[in-house]
Structure 1
């Protein structure tokens, strides 16, 4: 269902790293990252590994990417590989403009790397750390001209921002806009609303665009230069990245080289996306320029001193032991015995990944200008990373048996889980309920997680190979859980662990019972709503008079009007979410008036629901003793109250329209 992927990942411009990770030892990532000046010897490849040469990688890419684009309805892509300080290959595939058939040129065509932009923000932060202007462990309020409200008795530090452990809830409004007139300066965007802090600093990994944008604003504040100007002067210029920019819309000199962006290549392109939180995802760049950035981090150079780079690449937070760690800005993607750091990025239209094989001085960057059919771009980029690693850095497949505790531990995992990257103060909380995933236990002791699908679209199966650690059956992905006092407190997979976790849904907000109950309640309300016109017509047609007379008008009309109001409310929220799913720029505030209208109608429905209870009470005490009618009135009243409760706890009724 595209709705869930859009709102959970795409909408927030999150790029998840490839989930298929290596089963090398199921142990925490080593807290070390080499630079060119470090005395590190790359792990030798076993016999039979393909040689990473331009000829071999070009043949491999040419045999895979064009088919993937055609099959996935993707317009174009750029793939760049660097090795030992040089560009090994840079390939453009497909077209940058379907109408004109302009081909993708890796040296000239600009793509939108989405959240890979954050790596430039984090690099800028580390430059200011190196300059002594930013302390990683100082309260960020000391650098801001507005205050992040206190919570949990702990300040937020830059280290928290860089590891996505500041504790902010998810944000969505104004994330993507399509009208340049609505584009506002970074400080205005950040001061408009401070998201709720739902976790104590350092307690939970929850990826945050707002947090990354705060970091970019702090760079702007301490350097005295606007963020886009700072990056241009201190990162782009030293590296010769002449066809890259954070400016939106693009300067005229670059605009002509910008690729069109598509949902699928068979549909018309959409307008240039404007990213409200610039440091979190506004970069436009060519494949050649991204090669320069990768080389700078792999080989050392003008951006950071070696000791600063090592600090940046080292493990800074390991949310789940046994799975990769979060570095300062980069997340670890370690697999096949290699230390790998990287980042992914998504806008609504562009989908990208960047991977740095630190010990081997190899970098891989890929970007697609279309999401493709059924999310094909995401699948293709996962497979490219996995197969690139397995082809050039293969690793012996350890034959680890399934543990005897598989069924016992699997049973403890069963249930519904939500993502740590969530919202609690606005209607996105209701979306989070719908997005909960279910963990199930099979008869053979393997687990399935409904949200974790293989390339074939079927949920992966997992077998326990170490205490509370699972491996994908027939694959090399990894899953692990954190357990306290015998209860699972969170789990994740190798690709997600550094940036968000799956946490058990509380009983009071568990989709396992709420969604079936909501469907049943809606069914009752629908039948009740339809009963009014049907009964009215029947009575008119046959001249029938109701058996119960003398009820107050409010009691008589509440069960007729309130169900229709509830159907309009539920249908209205569904229509808005569908509109957002089809066009994320709808989150620019244009829906506010409709939200207010639905909220006003909800207030009326609350009153109507209690009047329905009153009506049921009157019917139950009526001398005519029409028990069936009274029972249905009671069931309708309870259903109405349940839906009202769900709308309230789902945070559709709020004073603020910030989200």
Structure 2
């Protein structure tokens, strides 16, 4: 679930592309490879003085940050846990778990929904079975399942690709989050309903996938012989003493009564329904902050929590350190965790979002420190994302500061040249591609714009104020946020930027420049123009009738010419309604996740059938009408408009075909 809407609107690692980069880009990226943490750490003489990481200081800092942040963001409550050196340093609740009863958040008792942080438990389970020799990270996953994942370019999906989100799957959204427990289907059934297409070459392009994670959970279930939730309870929760955690759906009553309510905004005061995750291993966990502390301690301790052990030390090191390279020097995707190294400190993490709960877990591996935060409201204008980002970054800057990085920089001329090269419209690698929801790639294209001073801005990278962040080039094809430490890097082929990514998205998605005929920069204006021509044609129909009646002017066309004229207007109305219904459906689904439930299947099928019938017939009628107009004695303007209408209908038919609107079914 992590960043699902961003993925859709955008909607967040590549040897194959890097091999084609020009020498200057290769040299720049080679020079900017991340250095080991010990080499990057400042010398004692240059070290920045930091407060001691102890309970009193952390609590005072959090008390000064979170209450105001939650109030400003219109968020009901939060839990924060900090662990250090194998013990819980601080666990604290802020705000309310239930606004109606004013029940406070209790880190020991109140359960939150960590969303995609759940994946870390799935990955841990996979690595347990790898350690036991029951799974092979590099084997074809079809060896372990009872249905087939088709090969791509002759290459199968492997668990290593699944753990690094490089299996190449397109995004799957249908029934990801539902509110009716009766509609929760068994994991295997959910996976077999529709296998997403593999739109990227395996092992090279990161594309975050809930489906792939659920597939890994299904493999755990089949190989272990235990239901997935039972396996996690027995092999992870029980050894760690996590007795207030569960993947089960519905949640056991004894835990459900302690579950924090989820809210859109605290000011609304209306609790939302419990969210059921159809691909449970990807995000169905419910847990207390205290339990999450135990999980963090185990991973920081090389798989051990006291006398209990969930992973061997070498397996834990492998999980934390083996990764898939990102673009240039950007943070990588490890085996399940994504790298978030900052200030010269090695760090791994995972974030998570349902509709109402928003969480983050961060581990500073070499420092034995972890921090977990979860909030139970969506809040105002993306506040949760800004709060958790500022919290984790502020924590790192306070307790693990470092001098500013010394980058060589680039000339003003090169900065402006490279800004022009990267400018344009991009689509996210994490996207729907073979279904009608591929229209989201047009409506939510990621745009990079050059600024006059040589900096660039990215449409989805916004500061807490809502203004676009500015990125300044600090080395060839490497930019840095002017107000922070996040970096942006691009891959270049023959002087042209083909794709880029930026932190924190880099481990899980890249942004690719589409081929010209698929470019949103071209298609979106043509889509708008075509719809405008249809709308003006439809509006002109009754207006011309009224004008003729008012002035007593007869309808001048007759015979085939009159029929063609009338049919063209009918076609314009039908195509406009059909395409409007499709676009309205897509926009509605992007803005309201409940519309992706199975309840909408009938509506989706009906709208697609309407488009399948109307778009080809409408295009044929408009083309015939244009042919009749060109042969007639109509005025030049009337002929030109008839041709424009025909081209508009033909273009919308082409959109319907290439964006998979035409067809039948509700798999997406």
TM-score bracket, shorter-length normalisation: over 0.9
CA distance in 1, matches of 2:337, 2:615: 48
Cα distance, 1:573 vs. partner? Answer: 2.7
Equivalent pair of 2:82/2:371 in contact (CA under 8 Å): yes
Candidates 284, 287, 290, aligned match of 1:285: 287
SS at match of 1:166: coil
- Equivalent position to 1:298, from 297, 300, 307: 300
Of 595, 605, 610, which aligns to 2:620? 610
Matches within 5 A, 1:241-640: 241-267=242-268, 268-300=270-302, 301=304, 302-400=309-407, 402-404=409-411, 405-551=414-560, 555-602=564-611, 603-622=613-632, 624-640=633-649
- CA separation of 1:10/1:372 partners in 2, compared to 1, >3 Å: closer, same or farther? farther
1:19 alignment partner in structure 2:
none
Aligned with 2:316: secondary structure? helix
Q: Offset at 1:5?
A: 7.0
Runs of 4+ in 1 over 4 A off after TM superposition: 9-14, 29-33, 41-45
Q: Distance in 1 between matches of 2:513 and 2:184?
A: 38
1:481 to partner: Cα distance: 1.2
Aligned equivalents of 2:364 and 2:11: distance in 1? Answer: 24
Aligned partners of 2:191, 2:9: CA distance in 1, in Å?
18
Aligned partner of 2:167 in structure 1 is 166
Cα distance in 1 between the residues matched to 2:10 and 2:425? 22
Q: Offset at 1:8? A: 3.1
Secondary structure of the residue that 1:135 maps to in structure 2? coil
Q: Deviations over 1:185-209 (max 9, x none)?
A: 0010011111101112102111111
1:427 to partner: Cα distance: 1.7
The match for 1:217 is 218
1:113 corresponding residue in structure 2: 114
CA distance in 1, matches of 2:11, 2:448: 26
1:16-44 deviation digits (Å, cap 9, x = unpaired): xxxxxxxxx984456899xxxxxxx9998
Is the counterpart of residue 50 in structure 1 residue 51 in structure 2? yes
Cα drift, residue 275 of structure 1: 0.2
Q: In the aligned structure 2, how far is the partner of 1:409 from the partner of 1:578?
A: 34
What is the DSSP-based 3-state SS (H/G/I as helix, E as strand, rest coil) of the residue aligned with 2:151? coil
Is the CA contact (8 Å cut-off) linking 2:425 and 2:447 kept in structure 1?
A: yes
CA distance in 1, matches of 2:288, 2:663: 43
Please give the alpha-carbon distance, in whole angstroms, between the structure 1 residues aligned to 2:31 and 2:380: 34
List alignment gaps of at least 5 residues for structure 1: 15-24, 34-40
Alignment CA distance shift 1:530-1:354 (3 Å): same
Scaled by the length of structure 1, the TM-score of the pair is 0.93
Partners of 2:35 and 2:70 in 1: how far apart? 36
Structure 1 residues 30 and 118, CA, compared in 2 at 3 Å: closer, same or farther? Answer: farther
Q: SS in structure 2 opposite 1:604?
A: helix
How far apart, in 2, do the equivalents of 1:91 and 1:654 lie?
Answer: 52
The change in CA–CA distance for 1:419 and 1:211 in structure 2 (over 3 A counts) is: same
Q: How does 1:171-186 map to 2 (within 5 A)?
A: 171-186=172-187
**CA distance change for structure 1 residues 173 and 488 in 2, over 3 Å: closer, same or farther?**
same
What SS class does the counterpart of residue 460 from structure 1 fall into? coil
User: Whole-Å Cα distance in 2 between the matches of residues 443 and 249 of structure 1?
Assistant: 55
Aligned CA RMSD, in angstroms, stands at 2.3
User: Which has the larger displacement, 539-548 or 415-424?
Assistant: 539-548
Aligned residues: 639
User: What's the CA shift string for 1:383-409, capped at 9, x where partnerless?
Assistant: 001110000000001353530222222
The 1:391/1:32 distance shift into structure 2, 3 A limit, reads closer
Where 1:551 maps in the other structure, the secondary structure is: helix
Task: Give the SS at the match of 1:630.
Answer: helix
**2:76/2:97 contact within 8 Å kept:** yes
Q: C-alpha distance in 2, partners of 1:471/1:203? A: 24
Q: Deviations over 1:294-314 (max 9, x none)?
A: 000001311111101111011
- Could you tell me whether the CA contact under 8 Å between 2:10 and 2:427 is conserved in 1? no
Q: Write the deviation string for residues 601-644 of structure 1: whole angstroms up to 9, x where unpaired.
A: 2222321222112112212211x332222222222222222222
The answer on 1:202 being equivalent to 2:198 is: no
Moved more, 287-296 or 90-99: 90-99
Which structure 2 residue ranges, 5 or more long, are not aligned?
13-29
Q: Which region of structure 1 is more displaced relative to structure 2, 185-194 or 142-151?
A: 142-151
Partner Cα distance (1:310, 1:348) in 2: 33
- Residues 504, 326 of structure 1: CA spacing in aligned structure 2 closer, same or farther, 3 A cutoff? same
Tell me the distance in 1 between the aligned counterparts of 2:336 and 2:495. 33
Tell whether the 8 Å contact from 2:457 to 2:471 is kept in structure 1 after alignment. Answer: yes
1:59 aligns with 2:57: no
Residue 552 of structure 1, CA deviation? 6.3
2:647 is aligned with 1:649: no
The answer on 1:150 being equivalent to 2:151 is: yes
Q: Secondary structure at the match of 1:471?
A: strand
Task: Quote the residue 1:192 is aligned against.
Answer: 193
